[in-house]
């Protein structure tokens, strides 16, 4: 692996991403956790840019760092969370489900990393620079991948209805 600007940027972003993720889950105060999550989103956006996915990188900044973080801060204020010591740790079915899901994720990530070592995904596709632009994305999304595109709207409507139903209980 040659040492160029891109490799340097990737390694510094990756180190920063792992660092901010660890800081995020170990902070006592939920506000500090949220701020480290913002840093983590930022580094992820940089990594997207290195993968030639310009559109996703910008959307990561706009939607995740902007909108989703506002939501997280609202949730923190809504629940009036103090420091974490008040939350009890119990090994219930939630913890076990989370463990299984994270094992699944770890195996997927492990496969990707090791496949990279054996040369399967060793370099970025030549077309990547053309695919990552907003233009190419719009073209493929509304024609070739129109079914997933429509299904995304169902996912959004499920989110809308879920939010209204959950909050309505509190209104009344």
Partner 1 sequence: MIESYIPIMLILFISVGFAVVNVNMSWILGPTRPNREKLSTYESGMEPVGTAREKFSVKYYMVSVLFILFDIEVVFLYPWAVSFMNFEPAKMVYSFISVIIFVVILFIGYFYVIKKGALKWD
Annotate 55-66 with b (16+ C-beta within 10 A) or e (fewer).
bbbebbbeebbe
- Nearest-approach distance from CB 93 to partner 1, in angstroms: 27
Residue (109 or 163) nearer to partner 1, CB: 163
Report d(CA 132, CA 137) in Å as an integer. 7
**Which residues contact partner 1 by CB under 8 A?**
5-6, 9, 49-50, 52, 55, 59, 62-63, 67-68, 70-71, 74-75, 77-78, 80, 82, 129, 134-139, 141-143, 146, 149-150, 152-154, 156-157, 159-161, 163-164, 167-168, 170-171
- Nearest-approach distance from CB 91 to partner 1, in angstroms: 30
Residue (63 or 101) nearer to partner 1, CB: 63
- Which residues make Cβ contacts (< 8 Å) with residue 37, sequence separation at least 6? 20, 24, 69, 72
Report d(CA 71, CA 65) in Å as an integer. 10
Residue (121 or 149) nearer to partner 1, CB: 149
Rg of the chain (C-alpha set): 20
Residue (67 or 103) nearer to partner 1, CB: 67
Report d(CA 31, CA 72) in Å as an integer. 9
């Amino acid at each position: 692996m040659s040492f160029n600007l891109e490799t340097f940027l990737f390694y510094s972003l990756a180190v920063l991403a792992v660092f901010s993720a660890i800081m995020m889950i170990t902070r006592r105060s939920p506000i500090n956790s949220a701020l480290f999550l913002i840093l983590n989103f930022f580094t992820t956006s940089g990594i997207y840019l290195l993968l030639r996915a310009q559109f996703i990188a910008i959307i990561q900044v706009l939607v995740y760092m902007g909108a989703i973080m506002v939501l997280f801060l609202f949730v923190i204020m809504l629940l009036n969370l103090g420091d974490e010591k008040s939350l009890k740790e119990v090994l219930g079915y939630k913890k076990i489900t989370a463990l299984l899901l994270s094992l699944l994720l770890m195996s997927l990530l492990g496969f990707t990393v090791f496949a990279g070592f054996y040369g399967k995904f060793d370099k970025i596709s030549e077309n990547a620079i053309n695919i990552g632009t907003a233009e190419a994305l719009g073209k493929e999304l509304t024609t070739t991948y129109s079914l997933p595109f429509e299904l995304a709207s169902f996912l959004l409507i499920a989110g809308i209805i879920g939010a209204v139903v959950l909050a309505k209980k509190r209104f009344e």
